[in-house]
Amino acid sequence: MNATKYIIRVLLVISIVYLAYLCVSSVVVPIRFENTREQREQAVVANLMHLRTAVAEYKLEKGRYTEDLDSLILFLKTAPKKEVLKEGSLTDKQLENGMTEHKAAKLMEKALLKARVNLKTDVDSVLYAYVWANDKEVIANGLQGFRRDTIYKNMIETLYKGQFTADNIEQIIYIPYSNGQRFELEVNNTYTTSQGIVVPIMAAKAHFKTYLSDLNRMELINLIDKEEKLEHYPGLMFGSVDAPNNNAGNWE
What would the pLDDT profile of 74-116 be if each residue is shown by its tens digit?
A: 999 999 998 888 999 999 999 999 999 999 999 999 999 999 9
Q: How far apart are CA 9 and CA 2, in angstroms?
A: 11
Same domain, 67 and 116: no
Residue 6: inside a domain: no
Q: How far apart are CA 236 and CA 207, in angstroms?
A: 6
Same domain, 230 and 105: no
Same domain, 171 and 216: yes
Same domain, 140 and 170: no
Same domain, 136 and 187: no
Domain end residue (candidates: 117, 145, 173): 145
Same domain, 94 and 133: yes
What are the pLDDT digits (tens) for 172-208? 999 999 999 999 999 999 999 989 999 999 999 999 9
CA 18 vs CA 15, 21, 216: distances in Å:
5, 5, 19
Same domain, 120 and 224: no
Same domain, 97 and 221: no
Same domain, 129 and 182: no
Task: Outline where DSSP puts E strands in 45-146.
Answer: 80-87
The tally of domains found in the chain comes to: 2
Q: Are 142 and 91 in contact (CB under 8 A)?
A: yes
Q: Which domain range does residue 192 map to? A: 35-79+164-239
Question: Over the chain, what is the mean pLDDT?
Answer: 90
- What pLDDT does 134 receive? 94
Q: Is the pLDDT of residue 136 over 90?
A: yes
User: pTM of the predicted model, to two decimals?
Assistant: 0.76
Same domain, 95 and 69: no
Q: Is the pLDDT of residue 27 over 80?
A: no
